[in-house]
Amino acid sequence: MTLRRTPEEREALRRAKATLDALDFYSTPVKIEHVRILHVPWLFKLPWFRRFHGYEMGPLILIKRPLYQCSPGLIAHELCHVWQDQDHRLRMWWSYVTSGYARNPHEIEARKAGAAA
């Protein structure tokens, strides 16, 4: 893992941000200055994470496969969660407790972002 973003990481974030900017879900655009994409395959071997290909934790986008193997849709999906976290962190996280995963409005929104990429 490098301490600085790679050119590929910067480009993936730039493309995903362009997708989200076109969707205009929130009044303030997503900020990507401190967002990192980290390849952490060991995490996705843990029981809770096995079903995911990517996971957002604040400004971190954690991915199961190397970035070059990830679709732009996956990065846009996870960056949408970063955006939600930036816009309304507590409401977003609480929605997973109250609504679950499949029909969660934040998950539906992130799926739209991924499909738009």
Question: Where do the domains of the chain lie?
Answer: 7-116
What would the mean pLDDT of 54-79 be, rounded to a whole number?
98
Residue 2 reports pLDDT greater than 70: no
What is the model's pTM? Answer: 0.94
Phi/psi class of residue 55: alpha, beta or left (left: φ > 0; alpha: ψ in -120 to 50)?
beta
Q: What is the pLDDT of residue 71?
A: 98
The torsion angle over the Cα atoms of residues 94, 99, 59 and 115, rounded to 10 degrees, is -160
Structure confidence by residue, pLDDT tens digits, 14-30: 999 999 999 989 999 99
Helix, coil or strand: residue 56: strand
Q: Percentage of the chain with pLDDT > 70? A: 98
Label residue 101 by pLDDT band (50, 70, 90): confident
Closest CA to 82 of 24, 13, 22, 23: 13
Residues 6+ apart with CB under 8 A from 29: 17, 20, 21
